[in-house]
Amino acid sequence: MNAKTISILKSIGAVFTGILINVIPAIAIDAVLHVTNCYPPMGERMSDGLFLLASSYRLALAILGGYFTAKLAPHNPIGHVITLGVIGTIASTLGHIQMGDQGPAWYSIGLIVISIPLSLLGGFIYLKRRG
């Protein structure tokens, strides 16, 4: 493989890692909270307070995803983090459409709005720590 191909694969890996950091822990935490009856059974509407709880760890995961995307990027870490944020915005928009009236609009719209800024925050934290 040539250097350009390796760089492209590293770029894809950096963004994919950021996606995994956002998605896998959120699904796992959701599952644990459903199994422990902190969240109601799947398909039942949660209270706004529980949606606030879900928002809290999703916010932290978005920052963490941006951090590791920037760290793993072979070049232009902020460009990679913006790509992650755009993918998050698209995924959150699709989630908003799918969610319909099963939850408060502020929750799903909030996830759309914060995807790019929180990914960027994670990237900036990495850059500041790196020096």
Range of the domain at 56: 15-25+50-130
6 occurs within a structural domain: no
CB atoms within 10 A of CB 77: 21
Distance between CA 10 and CA 12 in Å, rounded?
A: 5
DSSP state, 131?
Answer: -
70 occurs within a structural domain: yes
What is the band of 43 on the pLDDT scale with cuts at 50, 70, 90?
Answer: confident
- 100, with CB counted inside 10 A (0-12, 13-18, 19+), is exposed
40 occurs within a structural domain: no
Residue in the block written with tokens 């998605």: 23
Q: Looking at the 3D structure of the chain, how many domains does it have?
A: 1
107 occurs within a structural domain: yes
pLDDT, tens digit (0-9, with 9 covering 90-100), for 45-103 = 999 999 999 999 999 999 999 999 999 999 999 999 999 999 999 999 999 999 888 88
0.85 surpassed by pTM: yes
What is the band of 110 on the pLDDT scale with cuts at 50, 70, 90?
Answer: very high
34 occurs within a structural domain: no
* 44 vs 115 pLDDT, higher one: 115
